[in-house]
Amino acid sequence: MRYFFQLFLILLILTSCSHSQIISDGDEKAILSNIQYQINLSDRKFILKEIGAAKILLKKRSFTDEEVLRLEKVIELYVVSKGLFDHEVKLPPRASVELLLSSFCLDPRLSPPTNSEIFLWKKETPDIPYYSEILKRSSKKQQDVFQELIWNLREGVNFNQFPKPMQLLLKNIDPSVESVLRLKKLENKTLQKVKEKLIEFTGIDSVENRYLSFEEVKSNLSKHEVSELKGQFNYSSVDGVDSVYSKNLSNSYSGQRVTFVNPESIWKKINITEYQLIPGRSEIQKLGVFAGTDSGISKLIEDALKESIIRNSQYWYSTRLNSRELSLIQKYPIEALSVFLQSKKAELSTLKYFGQNGEDNESDAFRHFMWAGLVTEQVGENLALQFLTAHEPNLTKNLSEKISNSTKMDLHNNQVGIVAASELRKRNELGWSNLEKNGIQKLNDGTLISIEKNSKIKYGN
């Protein structure tokens, strides 16, 4: 009976303190049934297996539709891992992503979490000076140093009490940090109450007297450990991102094994520096999280696949690659593979709607729109424009030279695709199927142009 009462209180706290909420058994089953690909960045065997499968396929000079989609999985793995450098978790369509994140205790007056602790992802920034800037500079190797800094900023320690290296770090963030912290302290009307609770909990007066080292706070935290939670808990929704769900396995306050699921057909993104992990129990401290590294996964993928991509990409396209394309492939090999895969996906979309991949007609216009939009989704506007422009055979740096009507048509439809993808991304609607719908609409309203008018939409909406 006591356990069920405890569980009820936890659920009550979780649903009242955040826009996030734990989902029901039925909803969880329905959500997980839409997951088609599982990415595990914490499992090196999985990563090496995915890279090995891609290396085998890249020895080929042509690919089946299934192989194109299979190769795209290693691209997704690359994009997800590389996003961690910017503290972003990028979630591919209909995929789950499991990863290890470092975490910070945000309140040294409360107990550290147990391994079975329940946390919800809430989009809010704690009232700690320079918190976001500190997270962006954090690293796993110096996690204890940054944890110490966050604790003492949280408790309002005077600037002159910080060790010299900490003072230099803070001045690097903001040259006027000393006056900012002094003003912050004056404005904090509850500081005395915080001090009293801290003294009561730890027996150490840190607010006015001295700076607390990492080991001092850690030692006191270990004296206030709480009992493990019992039972299994479902995924919970992530605050601020539609249709994204998470589940945590905590390693005290220093690390979190997190699984995110994205059941929708569009990419989703979470900037983890904007979030706090909210515990289900009031005696447990909130946590901040950061990534900052992908443990070398993106470089591992680049090193493993670069040579095969550079060597074999000349056989993938129906036309001979020009010097501008070859230069881009050398510079951006993984992105070049993605650009090619998007061209095959664009052809699949065109076959779906027109039953052909023609030249200079409506199907050609639609294909270029789709290719541009899909490439923009994968590599961004700037790089998409570089690759797509380089692909046009009769285009030189001398823009005053006359270019063919066919090239003008392709360049126009490429640009429409790039702009459309960018607009869909701003609305959080950028995905393969949404691009198709948008392309058909723009073909019907005359935004896309074609030289010939002999290709009709056969398969419709």
Give CA–CA dist 263/35, Å, rounded: 6
Q: Is residue 174 included in any domain, yes or no?
A: yes
Q: What is the pTM of this model?
A: 0.85
Q: Do 285 and 332 fall within a single domain?
A: no
| pLDDT over 80 at 287, yes or no | yes
Q: Do 340 and 286 fall within a single domain?
A: no
User: Tens digits of per-residue pLDDT, 254-280?
Assistant: 889 999 999 999 999 999 989 999 998
Which sign does the torsion angle of CA 226, 22, 19, 272 carry? Answer: positive
Q: Angle, to 10 degrees, between the axis of helix 432-444 and the axis of helix 362-379?
A: 140
Q: Is residue 367 included in any domain, yes or no?
A: yes
Q: Is residue 273 included in any domain, yes or no?
A: yes
Q: Do 21 and 109 fall within a single domain?
A: yes
Q: Is residue 296 included in any domain, yes or no?
A: no
Give CA–CA dist 96/243, Å, rounded: 12
Q: Do 265 and 325 fall within a single domain?
A: no
Q: Is residue 58 included in any domain, yes or no?
A: no
Position 197 scores a pLDDT of 61
Q: Do 169 and 212 fall within a single domain?
A: yes
When pLDDT is cut at 50, 70 and 90, the band that residue 317 belongs to is: confident
Q: Is residue 278 included in any domain, yes or no?
A: yes
Q: Do 226 and 127 fall within a single domain?
A: yes
User: Tens digits of per-residue pLDDT, 109-120?
Assistant: 888 888 878 899
| pLDDT over 50 at 16, yes or no | no
When divided into structural domains, the chain yields a total of 2
Among 372-386, 387-401, 443-457, which stretch is predicted with the lowest mean pLDDT? Answer: 387-401
- Pair 106, 254: CB distance under 8 Å: no
Q: Is residue 432 included in any domain, yes or no?
A: yes
Q: Do 22 and 141 fall within a single domain?
A: yes
Q: Is 87 left (phi over 0), alpha (psi -120 to 50) or beta?
A: left
Q: Which residues of 260-298 are buried (b: 16+ CB within 10 A; e: fewer)?
A: bbbbbebbbebebbbbbbbbbbeebbbbbbbbbbbbebb
Domain that holds residue 413: 317-444
Single-letter residue type at 410: D
Q: Do 155 and 15 fall within a single domain?
A: yes
Q: Is 451 left (phi over 0), alpha (psi -120 to 50) or beta?
A: alpha
- Pair 143, 254: CB distance under 8 Å: yes
Q: Is residue 269 included in any domain, yes or no?
A: yes
Q: Do 258 and 376 fall within a single domain?
A: no
Helix, strand, or coil (residue 92): coil
Q: Do 277 and 160 fall within a single domain?
A: yes
When pLDDT is cut at 50, 70 and 90, the band that residue 314 belongs to is: confident
C-alpha dist (Å) from residue 314 to 61, 374, 386? 9, 21, 18
- Pair 409, 364: CB distance under 8 Å: yes
Q: Do 407 and 323 fall within a single domain?
A: yes
Q: Do 325 and 283 fall within a single domain?
A: no
DSSP H or E stretch at residue 454: none
- Pair 289, 122: CB distance under 8 Å: no
What is the average pLDDT value for the chain, to the nearest integer?
Answer: 86
